[in-house]
Each structure stands twice: as structure tokens, then as C-alpha cells.
């Protein structure tokens, strides 16, 4: 029996289905989880270029930064979270706000550029943070450090941007083994995580940063290759991050690809699927 459905009706039903799907996806992304692809090596070895994860937005409540950004340069779409929810910005508060904990791996909006960054939370409001000879100091006390061998990776272009790793064992030729010193750092609340170092850097020697109320201090685990709160915003760094700029907490890596595209299945890292983030 031939269908009596009119072509126009079928097209309209298809459009409604697409709109509903986009609305559901938008609500899900705004309220619960936001996908995030690791573009740089500033959080090695905790996070590698090509790791894919979902950011838990429920962990700290909601602010203007919880609104999704839609950026599709190929078709000219560039809608920022501030375009949608900028009217909520400015009071540095959150709805159903939860306090982030020292040691959390957090996604936040850069206070100036609005770009999404992912770093480890080191300093809470009121803390005094300093780095002396490469050793993190929190409120005047050095954190505990334990030697943990060497972090090794292949000296080759990484990710879609083709970033090359910096090595402690000097310039390494294509395909060679790039090495960095590895340590386990223990924060005052007992959170243990690995950090890697390349050598003596300017960022290994800082003044004292006093974190203002309502702000947080972040650092990358790849200590010598991270633009973070150690560098002020006026100098191109992150500086102190307002509470309202926090997007959410990174809890688990869902998928990881070591190549220039996630479609290059031969570069998938099988040992990182569903890996918890410490």
C-alpha cells in the first residue's frame, strides 16, 4: 500500500527531529558534561595530547562559563559561551556552587581570551604560592617530592598541530627518545600526582603569589612547558582565575589518539581508554 504522507510533512518532521536532538544535546552539554580534547602537552604525563574526556559540570555548580561554545570555522559559526550567557558574568558567583579542591584537574575559561584551559588546581583563595628552585611552596612549606624515574616519549610531531616535545636530554632527532625527569608531588591535602621537568627554567624561581578571595591558582603538571598562573595575564599568562570562570572537573579519559586525527586507529592508545585522572 502506497504511503499517503506528503513530502512537505516528512521534511518538517525531519527538521523537528534535528532541532529536538540539538536542544537535548545543548541541555546535556550545558548542565552535565562537556567534551574536551587535549590540544597541548602542558599536563603531561597526567594528560597527553590527543586524550579525549568529558568535563563534569555538576562538580562545582553553574555560571556563565557553563554555557556551551559552538565553533565551526569551516562554515563560519563562532558562538562563544559569553555570547549566550554573558549577562550572567561579573558577580563571580555560581548557582549550586561547589568548592573545588586542591589537586583537582579543572577546565576553566582564560580570564582574558576566553579560551578553555585545563590545569591542576594548586592555590585556593588566601593561599600564598611560590616556586623556589623548581619546588612548589604552599603557605611557606615545600610540598613533598619523590623521584620517580624518567618520563619518555617519541620525538615526533604530536596531535593535529604537530607540536614537538621539549626534552631534558637535549635536542633529539626525529624518532629518538625524548626524556624528562619525573617526580611524584604530594599536596598538603594528600593528593599525589606526577610532574615532569625539563631543566632549570625562569618559572622555577618565582616571587610569592597571594591568591585573592574568589580566585584560584593553577599550574600544569608539565612544569617547564606550561602557561599557567605563574605568569600574569599582562605578560600573556593565566594569572589568577575567578571562581565564575571554572567550567568543571576532569575525572576520566574516555579515549586517546596519538596521531594527527582520531580516525587514525593505528595511533589509538589502548591503555588510556576509561582511565581515571589523578
* CA-closest candidate to residue 249, choices 66, 105, 69: 105
Q: How far apart are CA 248 and CA 32, in angstroms?
A: 9
42 is catalytic: yes
Q: Find all residues with CB under 8 Å of 214, minimum gap 6, and list them.
A: 92, 125, 242, 243
> Residues of 222-257 as b/e, b for ≥16 C-beta within 10 angstroms?
bbbbbbbbbbeeeeebbbbbbbbbbbbbbeebebbb
Selected catalytic residue, list 42, 63, 155, 229: 42
* CA-closest candidate to residue 262, choices 28, 105, 33, 39: 39
Element (H, E) at 249: strand 246-256
Q: How far apart are CA 179 and CA 169, in angstroms?
A: 6
Q: Which residues pair with 107 in a beta bridge?
A: 118, 248
Q: Which three cell numbers stand for residue 38?
A: 587535549
Q: How far apart are CA 222 and CA 42, in angstroms?
A: 5
Query: Residue 113: helix, strand or coil by DSSP?
Result: coil
Selected catalytic residue, list 44, 63, 66, 119: 119
Quote the DSSP letter at residue 82.
Answer: H
Q: Find all residues with CB under 8 Å of 227, minimum gap 6, and list them.
A: 42, 220, 236, 237, 238
119 is catalytic: yes
Catalogue the active-site residues. 42, 119
Amino acid at each position: 500500500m502506497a504511503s499517503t504522507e506528503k513530502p512537505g510533512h516528512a521534511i518538517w518532521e525531519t527538521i523537528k527531529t534535528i532541532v529536538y536532538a540539538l536542544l537535548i544535546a545543548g541541555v546535556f552539554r550545558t548542565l552535565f558534561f562537556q567534551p574536551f580534547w587535549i590540544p597541548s602537552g602542558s599536563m603531561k604525563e597526567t594528560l597527553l595530547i590527543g586524550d579525549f574526556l568529558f568535563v563534569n559540570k555538576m562538580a562545582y555548580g553553574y555560571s556563565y562559563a557553563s554555557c556551551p561554545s559552538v565553533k565551526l570555522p569551516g562554515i563560519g559559526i563562532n558562538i562563544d559561551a559569553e555570547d549566550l550567557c554573558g549577562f550572567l558574568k561579573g558577580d563571580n558567583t555560581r548557582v549550586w556552587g561547589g568548592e573545588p579542591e586542591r589537586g583537582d584537574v579543572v577546565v576553566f575559561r582564560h580570564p582574558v581570551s576566553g579560551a578553555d584551559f585545563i590545569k591542576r588546581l594548586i592555590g585556593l583563595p588566601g593561599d600564598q604560592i611560590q616556586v623556589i628552585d623548581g619546588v612548589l611552596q604552599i603557605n611557606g612549606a615545600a610540598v613533598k617530592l619523590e623521584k620517580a624515574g624518567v618520563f619518555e616519549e617519541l620525538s615526533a610531531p604530536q596531535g593535529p598541530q604537530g607540536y614537538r616535545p621539549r626534552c631534558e636530554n637535549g635536542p633529539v632527532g626525529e624518532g629518538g627518545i625524548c626524556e624528562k625527569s619525573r617526580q611524584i608531588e604530594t599536596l598538603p591535602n594528600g593528593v599525589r600526582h606526577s610532574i615532569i621537568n625539563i631543566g632549570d627554567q625562569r618559572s622555577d624561581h618565582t616571587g610569592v603569589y597571594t591568591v585573592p578571595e574568589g580566585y584560584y591558582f593553577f599550574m600544569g603538571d608539565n612544569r617547564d612547558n606550561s602557561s599557567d598562573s605563574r605568569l600574569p595575564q599582562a605578560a600573556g599568562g593565566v594569572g589568577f582565575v575567578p571562581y565564575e570562570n571554572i567550567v568543571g572537573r576532569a575525572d576520566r579519559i574516555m579515549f586517546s589518539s596519538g596521531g594527527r586525527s582520531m580516525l587514525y586507529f593505528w595511533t589509538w592508545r589502548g591503555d588510556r581508554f576509561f582511565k581515571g585522572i589523578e
